[in-house]
Structure 1
Amino acid sequence: MKRKEKQRKEPIKIRQKELANGNISLYLDIYWKGEREYDFLNLYLINPKNGIDRDQNNKTMILAEQIKAQRLLDLQTGKYRMKQARTEVSFIEYFKQLMKDRLNSKGNYGNWDSALKHILAFTKGKDLKLVDVDETWLMRIKHYLLHDARTPFQTKLSQNSAHSYFNKIKATLRQAFEEKFINENPAGRIRGIKQAETKREFLTWEEVESITKATCDTKKLKEAFLFSIMTGLRWSDIIKMKWSEVRGSKSAGWYIQFQQQKTKEHEVLPITKEARNLLGEEQEPDQRVFYGLKYSTKTNLALARWLARAGITRYVTFHCARHTHATLLLSQGVDIYVVSKLLGHKTIKTTEIYAKVSNMKKVEAVNKLPKLKFNPL
């Protein structure tokens, strides 16, 4: 009787791990010459809701297969050596890797970069291992962010900045736990830093009319800011918007079909004829609508100078345009749930902040009525 040949085990397998947000993290399970290693690829499958999502997942799997094939070849030729033990993984380097994954999101990447600077200031530039980050260390850096950390101008760090940076640390540990770099997540037992209520700066309609008439040094900046006021789109979505995402016609109406940079959700956003006219003549589908515009100190200064020419001297950021869109809609009586959907908010609580601001302005307006003097009956 012929003996069955023993099937050789595949040294590298692509495995999947479900994350807390519902996405699937892909990693390589490598077993080579008696050693096992898990290599997380920073590739993710999303929950497919349409053909675009399924196509994206297929491309992600093809890329994972290509990485797997190359890794096997490198193992066989000696170009790749098994990594260091899990216990030796650097917290700083792991944090930097997660930061690098956010490179295409300028605002988010900037927050991670700022958080890293404060981590290095706290550790005095010294590295530490992921496994050495415990509850005591977390409590110490939490206290540092709240009481000792300073901005580049040597002012005390705001509570919301401390909240944001501490959340980055907690997110890093949560990801490390999900990817099995650590056996437990110490951040799960540490209360986060409470976010302070912030003032949502916005422009009145009269101010919007003023900036429309004022001259801006950067034409694209003026167009983008006004477009954000008209649509509520974030800077991160405006800066990457391509002509292929501008859909519709004069007769049927116009809309933007896009994927939110922040939430990764696919959205269909109706826009007015005036907003479409602001974009000008249609260009090639792959060309960015606001080509040449980028986040920089020069852009921020141009925004400040433009607003100053319109008589607005208070501190206003580009995100103020989105706040303006929300408060204008609410002041016109648009239902808060409709506003929430237009802004792409996941929960109504976020939109309620704008409603509160809108109500405050109503109170201010009422109090501006002239005082009526009358004799008691």
Structure 2
Amino acid sequence: EMQRAFIFCLFTGLRWCDVELLTYANVDPMTKTLRFQQKKVRNVSSRSWVTTPLTDDMLALVGEPITNDRSTELVFKIGPYVSCNLQLKKWVAEAGIRKNISWHCSRHSFAVNLLSNGANIKTVADLMGHSSITMTEKYLHVVDSLKQDAINSLGSISYAMP
């Protein structure tokens, strides 16, 4: 269940505190959208609501509700934050990954992957629920390092001197 929730966050940019509270009422399979109010906001405003388009794969991760009460049934029954992080560390270790992976890494990966694949920074800011692109710009440093890698991939310039 935790893996399913973490993977969902990789493709939606949700924080743990938002995915923990996500109900089936937040998911509209007809329009393939996810709409939820971010928990981690200072002032409740129109910016605290995030609408994210969903793919068929994302909808498959969500699955179908067990009960008929879409308004209160949680999509992911993942338990407390401490338990989720312990399970995540176990999952990461079993995969042979030696890096320190936290729940926030899914959100970071979401932003970096979008930016690396050419998404507009304003679009990424909207998908992440940032009130301005200033918050989103912190993810650009990773993309900037890709510029150097791209230039280096061209190889060296060799020419004959007369």
TM-score (norm 1): 0.38
- CA shift in 2, pair 1:245/1:320, >3 Å: same
**Partners of 1:242 and 1:288 within 8 A in 2:** yes
> Does 2:117 align with 1:332?
yes
Q: Encode CA deviations 1:30-69: one digit per residue, 9 max, x unaligned.
A: xxxxxxxxxxxxxxxxxxxxxxxxxxxxxxxxxxxxxxxx
Q: Encode CA deviations 1:67-114: one digit per residue, 9 max, x unaligned.
A: xxxxxxxxxxxxxxxxxxxxxxxxxxxxxxxxxxxxxxxxxxxxxxxx
> Does 2:106 align with 1:321?
yes
Q: Higher Cα Rg: structure 1 or 2? A: 1
**Partners of 1:337 and 1:348 within 8 A in 2:** yes
Partner of 1:283: 66
- CA shift in 2, pair 1:366/1:311, >3 Å: farther
**Partners of 2:15 and 2:104 within 8 A in 1:** yes
Q: How does 1:180-195 map to 2 (within 5 A)?
A: none
> Does 2:40 align with 1:257?
no
**Partners of 2:114 and 2:124 within 8 A in 1:** yes
Partner of 1:241: 22
CA drift of 1:308 comes to: 2.6
CA drift of 1:373 comes to: 6.7
SS in 1 for 2:115: helix
Question: Using CA pairs below 8 Å that are at least 6 residues apart, which structure has the higher relative contact order?
Answer: 2
**Partners of 1:345 and 1:351 within 8 A in 2:** yes
Hey, what's the Cα distance between the residues in 1 that align with 2:65 and 2:151? 45
**Partners of 1:243 and 1:283 within 8 A in 2:** no
Question: Structure 2, unaligned stretches of length 5 or more?
Answer: none
Hey, what's the Cα distance between the residues in 2 that align with 1:347 and 1:267? 13
Partner of 2:129: 344
CA RMSD between the two structures: 1.9
Q: Look up the equivalent residue of 2:26 and give its one-letter code.
A: E
Hey, what's the Cα distance between the residues in 2 that align with 1:313 and 1:371? 31
- CA shift in 2, pair 1:373/1:258, >3 Å: closer
Hey, what's the Cα distance between the residues in 2 that align with 1:314 and 1:363? 23
Question: Structure 1, unaligned stretches of length 5 or more?
Answer: 1-219
Q: Look up the equivalent residue of 1:260 and give its one-letter code.
A: Q
Partner of 2:142: 357
- CA shift in 2, pair 1:230/1:360, >3 Å: same
Higher strand share: 1
SS in 2 for 1:240: coil
> Does 2:5 align with 1:227?
no
SS in 2 for 1:312: coil
- CA shift in 2, pair 1:254/1:376, >3 Å: same
CA drift of 1:310 comes to: 2.7
Partner of 1:309: 94
CA drift of 1:332 comes to: 0.8
Q: Look up the equivalent residue of 1:326 and give its one-letter code.
A: A
Runs of 4+ in 1 over 4 A off after TM superposition: none
Partner of 1:376: 160
Hey, what's the Cα distance between the residues in 2 that align with 1:338 and 1:244? 24
